[in-house]
Structure 1
């Protein structure tokens, strides 16, 4: 059954509205047509897409199935049914549905990508071995699509987050970004890996770029706050060293003449200022100005980062006083040591708790990925029986192009 010209225009207009995320308008535009054309696969598939965007998943699943009953080869209908099943947490059905979709459309890369997503989306980390194979097939069919490489990286990361599979995951994420520099999920996940390996500056750049590209995604904003807290918290080691060394030297030199004590204070103060300058030069100065501005803004405005900064500030102030001021009684050095260390430790601990509570809230509202963000857990199940390979189309780890 063919569409009338006016129906065709309405359907195409609804697709354009969905492309621009104007879901409510698309629903209004398409609803009457979907009601009068239950036996038109294209109409029902687009209607299912609109319902998925509107989070009406049961209705979307029904519409997708109506489309497939008319045309079992309609790709959009297969994909929308899979997404609706996942949103309804019917993970096993979603996997079986995608397996049926592959049998119906074995040469369609989007179907293999959807299968990989469904395999990764299950409880306990899903089925990463099968997801790796599905993503590999999607890349073979369409090597220029960044999402396939990203899914391959996620699967490799869950297979074994160590030296064997880690380089494969990193190469896949980097290839996804090479193909699409605006692909924020790959950039964010790569920054997670960088943060876990101690490359805090690179992670800060990645998180800030992801948050700027997609400001509505709560997990990206959270990650920027975490890396800002990590950058600020590095100062605590300088404060700790200053309190221990300056307190010890000040107490030991208390009986000495004031001139000798002032000389020691000058040396200690110079060393402390040099340590702060090295922290600035090695930690914040290499960051691009927009990233530094983001860190400073978070210090001023975000609770967890501000608490950590206050704790480090109190510890640093106590260290500076111990270094620069010849105190009138040795007991003052012990008091500064106690106040500085305890305040710093308690506020940094509270900042971490606030940050974790925020992450838990993001997960409850569905804005965060289902795995741990900074230290991914080991894979559920045994290591797969095949050796890791570089993702198709990507440069193998340790080998340069050309």
Structure 2
């Protein structure tokens, strides 16, 4: 018992010490603006992501770790190169935004990881199951999983593929595709979880699940998908294995993942070349991954009222234009561009962790108190 208590205390100490170091560096970054510090902070974020992914159960954090790290690597590069950001129509400058956001994102990952571990200790190891209802729902979802890609393929055959029409998928959603296409298209990645779980349980053959995965990826490419949809599909398809088997993610797994991401990047490059006839827009899109973190950091710094936090941060009882990513788009970009993008169902890359800075920058004592609550073991 003493040994278990010691391990628990050691774990809490490591988490708390890591968070404290990150916060000290964050406060130092408030007055720092250098490419070197940006690189150090992004390196800390990458290291934090790496060690979380290598922990048992760390696979569930892949979306957070990859999305935040990729966006803030982009943020550091746009500050270092001074590129022109085509959506907000500004030339990037060295402000230190990448360092601040990378350190805050690292703090968020540490807090989330601690909360996850605490949650696993609270919930029962085995939840009650309702086998009849579970079987019916599984069959329904499996049927949907196999019909949905077939529907997308039929639409592409009848109405044409945006990949060969020189059209991005958002224009295709708005002007070409029939009603319901966008909803079906957007939910297919999550069905990958059902297909893989069914294969794992023996409800369908493993070979069948792999054929389904390959067929969906090919269909998505012809549907104009560039990266995120395929990435989400692979994530949800692999998730059952890492949840049920709970293997430790090894370095070789991360290296294989890096190779897959590079392969997806090549698909994106080819897609942009076919649709736009040039690779330049591909490089511009890479820069835009860090755009919102950069620009929201520039307009942050003063405390927001509780009313503004409830309305625009929590988004309670307000229209879509007054909350979430669309609210920030209206703050930083021309209204005509925002209207055009929302009409197509497109948005800028989401600005976490800059949105936390914008709304809660003056409320660190509360965040620290919350952190020690969730970490206490």
TM-score normalized by the length of structure 2: 0.22
Give the number of the structure with larger relative contact order, counting CA–CA contacts within 8 Å between residues 6 or more apart: 2
TM-score normalized by the length of structure 1: 0.21
Instruction: Please identify the structure whose Cα radius of gyration is greater.
Output: 1
